[in-house]
Amino acid sequence: MKKTTALLLLSITMNTIAIDSLQVKNGDFVKGRFTVPNTQPSDLTVVFPDRSTRRLLHNIAGSQEFMFKAQGDGNAQFRIRTADFAKEVKNYQLDILQHIPVEQQKSPPERQQSPLMQHLAEQLQQASNETEKQKILESFWRRRQKEGTPLVETGTRQNYQLVTFLWRSAKHNVTLWGAPSHDHEPLQRLANSDVWFKTYELRDDTLISYGFAPDIPTLPVNQREQRRALLSTLQADPLNPKTFPHDIQHADKYNYSSVLALSHAPKQPYTKPQNVPHGKLETYRFHSKLLNNSRRILVYFPPHFTPNQPDQLLLFFFDGRDYTDTVPTPRILDNMIAAQKIPPAVAVFIDNPSVESRHQELPPNSLFTRMLAKELYPWITQQLHIKTSPNRTALIGSSFGGLAASYVAAKYPELFGNVLAMSGSFWWYKPDTPSEQKNYIAHLYAVTPQRNVRFFLSAGRYETGGNDDSSILSSSRHLHDVLTAKGYVVTYREYTTDHSYFAWQGILSDGLSTLFGRK
């Protein structure tokens, strides 16, 4: 029999049934290679010390690897038979490539992507006792307290940075909300310590908001409700001084987010308070006969408001409460008007009567669209004595609000001549829609005559979702391509951001400047 180099080579006599053995203990891992001539198909079986058997290979001609986990302590016997039991087994070879006892079956220490986390892992591994380990951890956390989190290091690629999100002292689990993967990401525990972490390599223009959900309770509910249980512990990063909203003096840790802005992240210059003239915000109640519901309408009036100023803008915002309470839109308008970036603007913030109504009204809804055109628009212009033109009027929204803005403008371009859609839910489609029409808004604009409407569309590079073909990012790109092909005036921008009001508060001023900026 021809011999080859191996960790262990078993010499086996050339009989129709060849038997040899390997000394094993229960749980040992064994990997080998069996070789026979192409003219001699054979089976390889192992008989374990506990007398159980396992056929490792069947009808093998040539060379093939096998592996098994040993059952019992003692001799594992190998049996080799010809596949048809008709011929002698000749010139075969059985090589044992790996034999790893159960006590040695330990994974090597994982090498961390972050150099600082790798250094910490090595320090903990080399600590001689628990007291030394605790001193190392306390030193690590003192530095993080001083320098803040997340941990940011130089990336392995140009224009990228390594970002490590950190949480201390969870008992069971920690989930990162607002992760760059656009999903709820679990953090990893480092060496049974109080350090929980997750490292990403991100573009250096990344700008996102995030939070942590430690020790999420496991509930007797369905998968969707269990996923939502994250909200029960979701809170800000206690070691990150950058927050959204910026002013949190009256908020607890569960009611604001933390902010990551890398070295080349876009600025948000109009969101901070400035010493400029302030407009005023007034509250109205509006009842729709078409929808048979009532809602709050907030109206922003610019400083020195004059109803019939020729270049004055009329802006309609969907999700009105969020664009006054969460996004400081009145402040943004004050600052932009004072800086003469846009003309004076009246802004109408349309509240949703309920969460349920939002999901019914903002996705393409002909009745809600008629309400805007036939009831709310006349009510606003008559109530405020405003005369304006469609090229000075805009529909503004994000997510479902961006979807609604695009749909309403398609139906009533004679009233609404501009669309500012941020992270629009253009993946949406009606039930039973044919597959070729599942980008509903893009299909609508593709099959209808061109309207006199201008667009500002944006999407975040982290808005990819689980199925990229129907994500916000891909569907926004598709809509941009369709609008461009149809001859629309459209500006499309991608930002290294997530799906959040924190991102949209900065993009809002970009969109307004693009659509209405004074030259």
Residue 272 belongs to some domain of the structure: no
Q: What angle in degrees, to the nearest 10, is found between the helix axes of 440-447 and 472-486?
A: 10
Q: Are residues 357 and 317 in the same domain?
A: yes
The answer, yes or no, to whether residue 18 has pLDDT greater than 60, is no
Residue 275 belongs to some domain of the structure: no
- Joined tokens for residue 339: 């800086």
Residue that the structure tokens 């949190």 belong to: 248
Q: Are residues 126 and 213 in the same domain?
A: yes
**6 band by pLDDT with thresholds 50, 70 and 90:** very low
Q: Which residues pair with 18 in a beta bridge?
A: 80
Q: Are residues 285 and 431 in the same domain?
A: yes
- Please state which of the ranges 63-67, 219-223, 291-295, 437-441 shows the lowest mean pLDDT: 437-441
Last residue of a domain, one of 211, 234, 261: 261
Give the angle 12-15-18 at the CA atoms, nearest 5°.
50
Determine the residue type at 134.
Q
Of residues 84 and 341, more confidence is placed in 341
Mean local confidence (pLDDT), 40-66: 92
Written in H, E and C, the secondary structure of 350-376 is ECCCCHHHHHHHCCCCHHHHHHHHHHH
- Please state which of the ranges 81-95, 161-175, 259-273, 312-326 shows the lowest mean pLDDT: 81-95
Distance CA 242, CA 262 (A): 12
**pLDDT attached to residue 122:** 94
- Joined tokens for residue 399: 């997510």
Nearest-CA neighbor of 314 among 254, 244, 376, 265? Answer: 376
Q: Are residues 39 and 88 in the same domain?
A: yes
Last residue of a domain, one of 261, 289, 317: 261
Question: By CB neighbour count within 10 A (0-12 exposed, 13-18 middle, 19+ buried), where does 86 fall?
Answer: exposed
Question: By CB neighbour count within 10 A (0-12 exposed, 13-18 middle, 19+ buried), where does 395 fall?
Answer: buried
Q: Which residues pair with 515 in a beta bridge?
A: none
- Joined tokens for residue 27: 């749980």
Q: Are residues 310 and 228 in the same domain?
A: no
**pLDDT attached to residue 39:** 81
Mean pLDDT over all residues of the chain?
Answer: 92
Distance CA 506, CA 274 (A): 16
Q: Are residues 68 and 141 in the same domain?
A: no
- Please state which of the ranges 6-20, 66-80, 440-454 shows the lowest mean pLDDT: 6-20
**Coil, strand, or helix at residue 337?**
helix
The answer, yes or no, to whether residue 17 has pLDDT greater than 70, is no
Range of the domain at 75: 8-104
Query: How many domains does one find in the chain?
Result: 3
List CB contacts of 431: < 8 A, sequence separation 6 or more: none
Cβ–Cβ under 8 Å, residues 35 and 62:
yes
Distance CA 145, CA 237 (A): 11
Helix ranges (H only) for 398-500 are 400-411, 440-447, 472-486
Distance CA 57, CA 67 (A): 10
Q: Which helix (H) or strand (E) holds 465?
A: none
Residue 172 belongs to some domain of the structure: yes
Residue 266 belongs to some domain of the structure: no
Determine the residue type at 372.
L
What CATH number is attached to the domain comprising 90?
2.60.120.380
**16 band by pLDDT with thresholds 50, 70 and 90:** very low
**pLDDT attached to residue 253:** 94
Residue-by-residue DSSP string for 10-37: E----SSSEEEEEEE-TT-EEEEEEEE-
Distance CA 343, CA 363 (A): 30
Q: How many CB atoms lie within 10 A of CB 17?
A: 12
List CB contacts of 9: < 8 A, sequence separation 6 or more: 3, 93, 94, 95, 96
Mind listing the pLDDT tens digit for each residue in 30-49?
999 999 888 888 999 999 99
**pLDDT attached to residue 5:** 35
Mean local confidence (pLDDT), 385-412: 96
What CATH number is attached to the domain comprising 479?
3.40.50.1820
The answer, yes or no, to whether residue 107 has pLDDT greater than 50, is yes
Mind listing the pLDDT tens digit for each residue in 200-248?
999 999 999 999 999 999 999 999 999 999 999 999 999 999 999 988 7
Nearest-CA neighbor of 400 among 367, 429, 427, 362? Answer: 362
Residue 28 belongs to some domain of the structure: yes
What CATH number is attached to the domain comprising 255?
2.60.40.10
Phi then psi for 279, rounded to 5 degrees? -80, -170
Q: Are residues 306 and 442 in the same domain?
A: yes
Q: Are residues 228 and 329 in the same domain?
A: no
Distance, C-alpha 347 to centroid of its chain: 31
**pLDDT attached to residue 12:** 37
Distance CA 438, CA 162 (A): 37
Residues in the chain: 519
Q: Are residues 90 and 133 in the same domain?
A: no
**pLDDT attached to residue 38:** 84
Give the number of C-alpha atoms closer than 13 A to the C-alpha of residue 374, restricted to the C-beta side. 11
Q: Are residues 305 and 419 in the same domain?
A: yes
**432 band by pLDDT with thresholds 50, 70 and 90:** confident
The answer, yes or no, to whether residue 8 has pLDDT greater than 60, is no
Q: Are residues 233 and 345 in the same domain?
A: no
Question: By CB neighbour count within 10 A (0-12 exposed, 13-18 middle, 19+ buried), where does 296 fall?
Answer: middle
**pLDDT attached to residue 434:** 84
